[in-house]
Amino acid sequence: MMEFSSNLVLVTGALGWLGTSLVKALAQGLTDCESLSQPAENIKIRCLILPNQDASLLEKISDKIQVFKGDLRNRLDCDRFCEGAKNAVLFHTAGIIHPQKINEFYQINVEGTKNLLNSAIQTGIKRAVIVSSNSPCGCNPHPDHLFDEKSPYNPYMNYGRSKMLMELAVKEYYQAGKIETVVVRPPWFYGPNQPPRQTLFFQMIRDGKGPIVGDGNNLRSMAYVDNLCQGLLLAALTEKANGETYWIADERPYSMNEIIDTVEKLLESEFNQTCKHKRLKLPGIASEIALGVDSFIQSLGLYQQKIHVLSEMNKTIACSVAKARRELNYNPKISLEEGMRRSLKWVFENYGGIDP
């Protein structure tokens, strides 16, 4: 059973891809992890969502949920969200990955996090578990390299820089003794509640347009959402995690070929989809050209999601979860095939398929 320092838990970004899964795990337990399979008794889950979002999805999960609407950029909204939460645990999953303008990275990921932590400190919240990214460390220096918690910062573009600055700010709060903090770095994650961009990825694979840039042997660490939720919960519950940073991902990284082959196999064998068994193959230089274009666009203060994603497609972005295994007893049981099976099942059950 989960035993938090208070019966109140706070979650930002509660309607996000990760946030929804985390709220469900807090309310109902995490089925695949025995030690976390039962929720805390009498738990109350306070969720922060944006003013224009519909709270009905959260309200269906549990009557233990209380919804607050607000924006991290507004300190008063953060104060209201954290009010009366002394000794609570705060999970900060909110952030922006694909904005329209570059300054949003810094307004939300950096200044928004500072606003939230200042409010948390003011009200006496005990521990904040902060979701970062692989991007502060950028791309691996060679194909056989795995990032660990001692890897230096080498941020990838403005998103990576904003998450690096966020991590450094969190460290300052911890070192000043103002609040307990744990930083969790997930890579590319997948699973239920996915956004449309992930469903598009499945469509492209079925239609023979799964993108392979270079030879497709570059490795990518991925995190199935329930594996990631396990890591976040353990980061909140483990006393010695205070002040630490952890990479949280599946047990091993996968090649881009393996990722696309796995999805294709599942689509045909379990979801009655006819796949074209082709790939959209591009030379490695395509990503390097995209990187140059992306850099130029971002220098103008703008952002173009597809170009940015293309710039990463030939890169190795892979990490080790050894520290999390050792210190948190992290045990990611769901690997790529089962995770993608559950992801596809969710899409078919909720949308009837992967067609637009």
Phi, psi of 61 (to 5 degrees): -70, -45
H and E: helices and strands count for the chain: 13, 13
Structural domain includes residue 312: no
Give the up-direction half-sphere exposure of residue 352: CA atoms within 13 A in the CB hemisphere: 2
Q: Each residue's pLDDT tens digit in the chain (356 positions)?
A: 788 989 999 999 999 999 999 999 999 999 999 899 999 989 999 999 999 999 999 999 999 999 999 999 999 999 999 999 999 999 999 999 999 999 999 999 999 999 999 999 999 999 999 999 999 999 999 999 999 999 999 999 999 999 999 999 999 999 999 999 999 999 999 999 888 888 999 999 999 999 999 999 999 999 999 999 999 999 999 999 999 999 999 999 999 999 999 999 999 999 999 999 999 999 999 999 999 999 999 999 999 999 999 999 999 999 999 999 999 999 999 999 999 999 999 999 998 999 87
Residue 280 lies in a domain: no
**Angle formed by the axes of helices 196-206 and 256-271, to 10°?**
80
User: What's the domain count of the chain?
Assistant: 1
Read off the tokens for 193: 């509640």
The answer to the question of residue 203 being in a domain is no
- Which residues are CB-neighbours of 299 under 8 A, at least 6 positions away? none
Report yes or no on 281 lying in a domain. Answer: no
Q: Examine residue 225 and state whether it is found in any structural domain, yes or no.
A: yes
Edge-to-edge strands, sheet with 65-69: 65-69, 44-49, 8-12, 89-92, 127-131, 180-185, 245-247
Please say whether the beta carbons of 344 and 202 come within 8 A: yes
3-state secondary structure 180-212: EEEEEECCEEECCCCCHHHHHHHHHHHCCCEEE
- Structural domain harbouring 239: 8-190+221-252+317-335
Q: Residue 112: which CATH number? A: 3.40.50.720
Q: Any residues with CB less than 8 A from the CB of 100 and at least 6 apart, and which?
A: 302, 303
Residue 197: inside a domain: no
In a domain, 272, yes or no: no
Asked if residue 12 belongs to a domain, the reply is yes
Task: Compute and round to an integer the Cα radius of gyration of the chain.
Answer: 20
